[in-house]
Homo-oligomer: A and B are copies of this chain.
Amino acid sequence: MSNQITLKKLANLSNFSVSTVSKALADSSEISTKTKEKVKKLAELYNYTPNLLAKSLKERKTRTIGVIIPNILAHFFAKVLVGIEKEAVKHGYNIITCISDESYDKEVKSIQMLASGSVDGFIISISKETYIKENYRHLTTAISKNLPVLLFDRITDKVMCDKVIINDFESSYNATKSLIQSGCQNVIFISPINNTSVGIERARGYNEALKDQKVPEAASEILIIEDYKKFAHNFNHYIENNNIDGILAADELSAIYTMNLVIGKGLKVPEDISIIGFTDGILSENSNPPLTTIDQHGIELGKIATKTLIKRLQKDDITKDYETVTLKTTLIKRASSNIS
């Protein structure tokens, strides 16, 4: 740490006691105006800033939020992080960010570490591996230690807490419906997030829409991406043998990646195949053709998540009246589809 100026030093310099200095700086009504002025001037002069660690220890709260994100390179999560950071700063909170990298172990370790006094609560999106292990004890443990948890986007029913999500089912349902109404007969669904809550809901929306639209003998196929290289191989094969004219992808990268495969095959987008993706990120905006996409409003989501958590932090009883906020997405029409 550092050669910091402390209350003690200020006390020595001013010939007041430590507590008087402390109160003076806090503008306590107990202290005379003269003393306050003197002390404040001195503090200014020496550029005093209170040691936040000591303050946190004393007050038993840190004004810091722990954020656990699966992958910062996905534009959606980066956007959410921007929103979280902005809103946190606005309320005088700091954030400590950990990247789980889709690993259960890293998620657990990060939470354990931060739960040892470093944060007042958590904002978390669950890693893929955690869904596979189906073990959410690290989350419930945190809550039982009085550290509120807010889950966003990738959530689970197994943990009782505040949640902020988007209307995944509906968004997916509507996008699929739009594709069909624009003339697509054979729409497939592509997902690299198959086992997350989000992936499941989006797949369900796709399936329901197909059912409701009753296209005779329509394709109904969900292609899972685990490894992009392998997927490219399989997809190229698939597209030769199947008469596809519409694709809904569960995230941004998979949409763009698939679009490039389609174009690479000599097919035209959207003339031969219409494509819609999720997340309105930098990729969708700048692809060629630009991608029709479902804007998840990541920054807004991050802000709301943070607001909700901070509200929770200010409550006495942390385990009551949990709320689940569901944000509405926006379909942004661009040249990769013909939907109206």
Q: Which residues of A contact B (CB under 8 A)?
A: 1-4, 47, 49-54, 56-57, 60-62, 64, 72-73, 75, 78-79, 81-82, 85-86, 89, 94-99, 106, 112-118, 120, 141, 145-147, 253, 256-257, 260, 263, 282-283, 286-288
Contact = CB atoms under 8 A, between A and B. Distances in A.
B61 A72 contact: no
Contact of A116 (B50, B73, B86, B260): B50
A253 B282 CA distance: 8
A3 B141 CA distance: 12
Given A51-B57, A51-B116, 12 more contacts: A1-B147, A2-B147, A50-B116, A52-B113, A52-B116, A53-B53, A82-B99, A85-B99, A94-B113, A96-B96, A97-B97, A263-B288
Given A60-B1, A72-B81, A118-B94, A260 B282 contact: no
Given A1-B60, A85-B99, A263-B288, A53 B283 contact: no
Contact of A3 (B97, B99, B145, B287): B145
A317 to B, nearest CB: 13
Between A2, A62, A79, A288, the greatest number of chain B beta carbons within 10 A of the residue's beta carbon is seen for: A2
A288 to B, nearest CB: 4
A112 B2 CA distance: 13
A73 B62 contact: no
A137 B47 CA distance: 13
A146 B112 contact: no
A1 B94 contact: no
A219 B112 CA distance: 59
